[in-house]
């Protein structure tokens, strides 16, 4: 049995042998690299430059311009033309220069000095100078110089350090009695001595090696300093497992410091966290999250782009689960809540399959997830058989396609778009039944509205889109019977018409926002009419009201009054417009209604201050439209007794 002293002696002997052998190799290399050849390669002149040749040619032309006969003959004109160019052709200049000055144009031929060859043979008789490669090397090698960053002095020092590191790794007990510190020192020194340190010829890879072995050594010795905190141990184990699976394992930890490799770390972290959470906590929700973590880990590992999103948003998914638990009570945790677990996992899978997931802000993701979980709590049959139901796919894909639409994103600021989408998602979260009947509502309603206003500037578009989405979702939440109808089309169409009016400066964005709110709510008054009318009913009503206001010199329905006229007009259409379902009658109605509004404003201006006030004017105008729809107005003529009678009758009822 080898004693401790004998083992140390053997270790010292091995170190000395390594030091001796590697020192010999290093010194031999130094001699081979730095020993001087006898002479440096001679320098040669490359011949006259183009500038010099041009100057000589011009001088020659000047000196011989009066000679007779002309020594240049016909080529003089060609030379003069070329020299007159801003950038003369170097090939032509060289040809003419060589023709006129052959003695100056000759380039020296590379001819090694005979004395140099002679000295080489005398000092290096073993060289075969008849070999062309050997001869070329003798001329091209710069003698006595080593261009590497780490010179032989430093490399000799690194050699000594390397051998000492190997010795220290085998005898760590000589340096410290602390078991934890000894384990770390040994792990670091074992890695530090591989490869041979004297092989490094620049500082950058050597310093990178030093940092890498230190980080890996500390991780190798993690068992020595792991604490009673299960989460600290879990983090270290996840890091070690990720390093083992990485292609360049030893460089993995250093790569993390450079922002690389988090893909694998997150995946391993989820698996380890799931095990830790499942064993450390007894609560139902903790078990649910543990199960989701286990299932989600391979998704992250296989996905190229999803890991960054998952790193940013996993907490939001869990927070959404907590929010839903708070709302819908402990029943969802019964039997470890398969509904909650499967829904969250389905959401993770859906997000892992899309490249647009980065467009979802934390707040938007939280609310959409909350809406999905709320829907499952109300309709648990959705996930009893297949968690990957179409409703969930449509929900997230419609949201992502809406948010990721480039034409929309080019109009809205990032923050502005997030606010609008977040409001939509929030309404869905408060009314999860919306996404059950129409999971693609994001795209059909919010997407339609956003596209309708995309040509406006940011402020105008944001104002109209916010008002439209808020009002229309509120209407849908209160009137779910409108889901699946053409309601989103009407709202988007009205938003597009208002966007055109704002762009043409006919109305202000505040008016447009108020009008879209009124229009969104008006459909409830007669959903059958608005759903069956194929033409742009709401938008066309808004158009004729705005055009009438533009023609009115007295500006009696400007500002808020314009909004009120639209409100009462849509009310009149909802109450008496059954005939508008006929497309032929609809066109006639619009033409006649526009004329009635013009005539009503003229008569209203005449009666204003006598038996009519401005606040009553919108009601009076809508009364005329109602009379038209009921067939009480045959002709629109200010002198027609029937028309005047209808007008006076409306005023009497208003002032009664």
- Among the ranges given (458-472, 528-542, 553-567), the one the predictor scored with the smallest mean pLDDT: 528-542
pLDDT reading at 149 higher than 80: no
Calpha distance 536→489 (Å, rounded):
9
Query: If you ran DSSP here, which 8-state letter would residue 612 be given?
Result: B
Average pLDDT on 474-503 reads 82
Q: Is the pLDDT of residue 599 over 70?
A: yes
Q: CA distances (Å), 298 to each of 12, 171, 260, 269, 326, in order?
A: 49, 43, 19, 11, 29
What's the rounded Cα separation, in Å, for the pair 136 and 127? 12
Mean pLDDT of 547-558: 87
SS3 track for 10-64: HHHHHHHHHHHHHHHHHHHHHHHHHCCCCCCCCCCCCCCCHHHHHHHHHHHHHHC
Mean pLDDT value across the chain: 64
- pLDDT tens readout for residues 488-499: 888 888 888 888
* pLDDT value at 603 more than 80: yes
Say whether pLDDT at 604 is over 60: yes
Cα separation, 348 vs 354, in Å, equals 10
Phi and psi based region of residue 144 (left: phi greater than 0; alpha: psi -120 to 50; beta: remaining): left
Q: pLDDT value at position 528?
A: 76
Q: Percent of the chain at pLDDT above 70?
A: 40
Mean pLDDT of all residues in 411-436: 57
The larger pLDDT score, comparing residue 84 to residue 334, is at 84
Q: What is the DSSP string of 312-364?
A: HHHHHHHHHHHHHHHHH-GGGGGGG-HHHHHHHHHHHHHHHT-S-GGG--HHH
- Return contacts of 143-147, CB within 8 angstroms, 24+ apart: 143/35, 143/36, 143/37, 143/40, 144/34, 144/35, 144/36, 145/34, 146/33, 146/34
Rounded CA separation 322/584 (Å): 56
What is the C-alpha separation between 493 and 483, in angstroms, rounded? 17
Output 650-654 pairs: Cβ under 8 A, ≥24 positions apart: 650/620, 650/623, 650/624, 651/607, 651/611, 651/612, 651/620, 653/623, 654/612, 654/616, 654/619, 654/620
From the list 526, 522, 578, 525, the residue with the least C-alpha distance to 545 is 522
Reply yes or no: is the peptide bond before residue 195 cis, omega within 30 of 0: yes
CA separation (Å) from 246 to 8, 274, 389? 37, 21, 36
Q: Which residues contact 165 (CB under 8 A, 6 or more apart)?
A: 189, 192, 193
Q: Which residues pair with 608 in a beta bridge?
A: 612
DSSP state, residue 631: T
DSSP 9: H
- Residues 364 and 361: their CA atoms lie apart, in Å, by 5
pLDDT, residue 438, reads 65
DSSP 213-247: HHHHHHHHTHHHH--S-HHHHHHHHHHHHHHHHST
Mean pLDDT computed over 131-135: 66
Q: Burial-class residue 465 by CB neighbours within 10 Å (0-12, 13-18, 19+).
A: buried
Write out pLDDT tens, residues 313-331. Answer: 455 455 444 444 444 444 4
**pLDDT tens, position by position, 240-268:** 555 555 556 555 444 444 444 434 444 44
Alpha carbon 554 to its chain's center: 52
- Predicted pLDDT at 583: 63
Query: What's the pLDDT band for 437 if we cut at 50, 70, 90?
Result: low
Residue 546's nearest CA partner among 503, 501, 604, 514 is 501
Instruction: Give the 3-state secondary structure of residue 638.
Output: coil
Within 8 A by CB and 6+ apart from 619, the residues are 568, 654
Look up residue 566 and give its two tokens: 């639209």
CA-closest candidate to residue 56, choices 93, 9, 26? 93
Q: How does pLDDT run across 553-594, given as a tens digit for each residue? A: 888 888 888 889 888 888 888 888 777 777 677 778 888 888
- Sign, CA dihedral 401-406-410-411, equals negative
The pLDDT tens digits of the residues spanning 151-190 come to 444 444 444 444 444 444 444 444 455 554 455 455 544 5
Whether the CB-CB separation of 475 and 461 falls below 8 Å is answered with no
Contact in structure between 522 and 503 (CB atoms under 8 Å): no
Residue 94 has pLDDT above 70, yes or no: yes
The stretch 617-627 carries a mean pLDDT of: 86
Question: pTM for the full model?
Answer: 0.45
What number of H helices and E strands is found in the chain?
33, 0
Q: What is the rounded end-to-end Cα distance, in angstroms, of the chain?
A: 122
- How far is residue 124 from each of residues 38, 128, 158, 301, 499, measured CA to CA in Å? 10, 9, 33, 62, 91
> Rounded CA gap, 393 and 380, in Å?
17
Whether the pLDDT of residue 292 is over 50: the answer is no
Q: How confident is the model at residue 400 (pLDDT cuts 50, 70, 90)?
A: low
Nearest Cα neighbor of 440 from 399, 476, 407, 404 is 399
Return d(Cα 170, Cα 167) in angstroms, integer: 5
Task: State the pLDDT confidence band at 138, using cuts at 50, 70 and 90.
Answer: low
């Amino acid at each position: 049995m080898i004693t401790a002293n004998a083992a140390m002696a053997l270790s010292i002997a091995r170190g000395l042998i390594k030091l001796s052998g590697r020192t010999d190799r290093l010194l031999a290399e130094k001699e081979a690299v730095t020993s001087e050849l006898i002479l440096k390669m001679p320098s040669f002149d490359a011949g006259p430059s183009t500038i010099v040749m041009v100057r000589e040619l011009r001088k020659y032309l000047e000196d011989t311009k009066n000679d007779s006969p002309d020594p240049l003959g016909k080529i003089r004109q060609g030379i003069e033309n070329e020299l007159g160019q801003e950038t003369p052709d170097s090939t032509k200049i060289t040809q003419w220069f060589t023709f006129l000055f052959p003695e100056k144009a000759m380039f020296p031929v590379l001819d090694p000095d005979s004395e140099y060859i002679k000295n080489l043979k005398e000092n290096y008789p073993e060289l075969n100078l008849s070999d062309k490669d050997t001869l070329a090397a003798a001329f091209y090698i710069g003698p006595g110089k080593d261009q590497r960053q780490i010179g032989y002095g430093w490399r000799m020092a690194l050699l000594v350090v390397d051998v000492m590191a190997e010795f220290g790794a085998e005898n760590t007990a000589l340096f410290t009695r602390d078991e934890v510190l000894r384990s770390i020192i040994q792990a670091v020194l074992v890695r530090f001595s591989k490869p041979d340190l004297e092989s490094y010829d620049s500082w950058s890879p050597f310093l990178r090696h030093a940092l890498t072995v230190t980080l890996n050594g500390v991780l190798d010795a993690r068992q020595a300093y792991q604490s009673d905190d299960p989460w600290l141990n879990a983090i270290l184990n996840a890091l070690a497992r990720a390093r083992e699976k990485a292609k360049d394992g030893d460089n993995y930890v250093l790569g993390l410091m450079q922002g690389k490799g988090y893909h694998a770390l997150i995946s391993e972290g989820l698996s380890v966290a799931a095990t830790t959470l499942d064993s450390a906590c007894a609560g139902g929700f903790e078990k649910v999250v543990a199960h989701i973590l286990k299932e989600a880990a391979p998704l992250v590992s296989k996905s190229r782009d999803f890991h960054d999103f998952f790193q940013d948003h996993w907490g939001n998914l869990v927070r959404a689960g907590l929010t839903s638990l708070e709302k819908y009570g402990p029943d969802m945790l019964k039997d470890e809540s398969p509904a909650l677990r499967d829904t969250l996992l389905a959401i993770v899978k859906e997000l892992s399959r899309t490249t647009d997931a980065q467009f979802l802000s934390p707040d938007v993701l939280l609310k959409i997830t909350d809406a999905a979980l709320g829907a499952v709590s109300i309709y648990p049959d959705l996930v009893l058989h297949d968690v990957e139901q179409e409703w969930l796919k449509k929900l997230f894909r419609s949201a992502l396609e809406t948010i990721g639409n480039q034409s929309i994103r080019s109009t809205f600021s990032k923050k502005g778009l997030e606010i609008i989408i977040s409001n939509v998602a929030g309404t869905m979260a408060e009314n999860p039944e919306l996404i059950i009947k129409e999971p693609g509502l994001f795209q059909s309603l919010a997407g339609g509205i956003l596209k309708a206003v995309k040509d406006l500037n940011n402020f105008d578009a944001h104002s109209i889109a916010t008002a439209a989405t808020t009002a229309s979702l509120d209407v849908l939440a209160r009137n779910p019977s409108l889901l699946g109808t053409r309601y989103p089309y009407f709202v988007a169409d009205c938003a597009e018409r208002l966007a055109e009016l704002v762009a043409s400066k006919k109305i202000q964005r505040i008016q447009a926002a108020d009008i879209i709110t009124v229009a969104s709510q008006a459909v409830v008054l007669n959903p059958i009419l608005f759903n069956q009318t194929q033409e742009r009913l709401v938008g066309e009503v808004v158009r004729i009201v705005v055009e009438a206001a533009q023609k009115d010199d007295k500006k009696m329905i400007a500002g808020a009054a314009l909004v009120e006229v639209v409100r009462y007009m849509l009310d009149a259409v909802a109450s008496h417009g059954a005939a508008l379902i006929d497309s032929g009658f609809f066109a006639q109605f619009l033409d006649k209604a526009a004329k009635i509004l013009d005539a009503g404003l003229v008569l209203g201006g005449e009666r204003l201050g006598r038996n009519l006030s401005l606040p009553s004017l919108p009601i009076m105008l809508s009364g005329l439209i109602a009379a038209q729809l009921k067939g009480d107005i045959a002709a629109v003529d200010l002198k027609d007794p029937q028309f005047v009678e209808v007008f006076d009758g409306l005023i009497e009822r208003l002032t009664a």
